[in-house]
Amino acid sequence: MRNTKEKILTATEQLIYKKGYTGTSINDILDETATGKGQFYYYFDSKKEATLAVIDNHVKIWQKHLLNGILSRDESPLANLKEMLDWIYSDHVQKKYTTAVL
């Protein structure tokens, strides 16, 4: 089973995709993860901090797959661009339609 911090980050990401940042409350995150406020505040000082952690995770994933992966290959710039755009599109589609199972 995933740890509580990972559950909070996953729920935060999914809720923001579904409801937007302003439409997502800490209570939404708590309900989605079945955690208490104490557990949330143990890991994060605010919804903003949890969201920034989600963004930081995205940056790391994109760096791994795009900068260190696709764009570092010795392919033509056009082929790299196409593959990069395909990866970005599929990443967003997968996240947008994934239903949380926590």
pLDDT in tens, 2-19: 699 999 999 999 999 888
pLDDT digits (tens, 9 = 90+) for 23-65: 999 999 999 999 999 999 999 999 999 999 999 998 998 888 8
Number of helices (H), then strands (E), belonging to the chain: the values are: 5, 0
Q: Which helix (H) or strand (E) holds 93?
A: helix 77-97
Can you tell me the distance from the alpha carbon of 45 to that of 72, in angstroms, rounded to the nearest whole number? 37
Q: What is the pLDDT of residue 3?
A: 92
